[in-house]
């Protein structure tokens, strides 16, 4: 397998995850990676499109086929262990990921920081969140709003564990 063609800054690496790897796709977006999730599950669609993206697959046959065609592909063991999956991917690419609030974990859209009046006038952000947090981001594609609430603690823990595995 050759990743030589991917001669870009690590942050510009783009992925496409197969239909079994939705959780992995969402996690990669937390680290700012442009990651499509290919829900359809047909191999031909994956093989013939998205060639500028690194394919992540847990399908051994598809993986072998891509390798023989010289396409950048990473085999990801199908498991519930997202830490293991992400460490496999980052080790292969030899990159150290960092958390970046730039991409929607739901739809892969880009996030934009909200300004004060937007936050103030927004009816969907809970009042207590508005009091407690200053930074809010909105997905420019689906409109989902993000802030560094209590769930962020788990994400930073995940990040720590992941980076320990990559040492």
Contact range with Zn ion by CB under 5 A, out of 21-29, 34-42, 139-147, 156-164: 139-147
The answer to whether 78 and 39 have CB atoms below 8 angstroms apart is no
Give every CB contact of residue 49 below 8 A, 6+ residues apart in sequence.
none
Query: 86 or 111, CB closer to Zn ion?
Result: 111
The answer to whether 144 and 112 have CB atoms below 8 angstroms apart is no
- The DSSP output letter for 103 is B
What tokens appear for 131 in the block?
């009091």
Note whether 109 binds Zn ion by CB under 5 A.
Answer: yes
Angstrom CA distances, 95 to 46, 104, 125, stand at: 24, 21, 35
Binding mask 66-105 vs Zn ion (x if CB under 5 A, - otherwise)? Answer: --------------------------------------x-
Query: 29 or 71, CB closer to Zn ion?
Result: 29
Burial 72-108 (b: 16+ CB within 10 A, else e): bbbbbeeeeebeebbbbbbebbebebeeebbbbbeeb
Tell me how far, at minimum, the Cβ of 100 lies from Zn ion, in Å: 15
What tokens appear for 27 in the block?
């996690």
Note whether 142 binds Zn ion by CB under 5 A.
Answer: yes
Which of 141, 145, 152, 163 binds Zn ion (CB under 5 A)? It is: 141
CA angle 72, 74, 78 (to 5 degrees): 155
Tell me how far, at minimum, the Cβ of 86 lies from Zn ion, in Å: 21
Query: 24 or 138, CB closer to Zn ion?
Result: 138
Query: 63 or 146, CB closer to Zn ion?
Result: 146
Tell me how far, at minimum, the Cβ of 109 lies from Zn ion, in Å: 4
Query: 78 or 144, CB closer to Zn ion?
Result: 144
Note whether 139 binds Zn ion by CB under 5 A.
Answer: yes
For Zn ion, the binding residues (CB under 5 A) are 104, 106-107, 109, 139, 141-142, 144
């Amino acid at each position: 397998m050759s990743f030589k063609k991917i001669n870009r800054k690590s942050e510009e690496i783009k992925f496409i995850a197969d239909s079994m790897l939705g959780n992995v796709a969402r996690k990669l977006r937390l680290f700012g990676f442009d990651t499509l999730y290919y829900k359809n599950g047909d191999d031909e669609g994956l093989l013939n499109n998205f060639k500028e993206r690194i394919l992540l697959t847990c399908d051994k046959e598809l993986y072998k086929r891509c390798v023989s065609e010289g396409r950048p592909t990473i085999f990801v063991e199908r498991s519930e262990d997202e830490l293991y999956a992400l460490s496999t991917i980052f080790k292969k690419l030899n990159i150290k990921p960092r958390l970046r609030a730039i991409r929607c974990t739901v739809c892969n859209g880009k996030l934009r920081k909200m300004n004060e009046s937007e936050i103030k006038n927004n009816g969907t952000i809970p009042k207590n969140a508005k009091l407690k947090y200053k930074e809010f981001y909105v997905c420019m594609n689906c409109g989902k709003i993000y802030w560094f609430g209590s769930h962020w603690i788990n994400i930073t823990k995940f990040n720590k564990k992941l980076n320990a595995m990559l040492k």
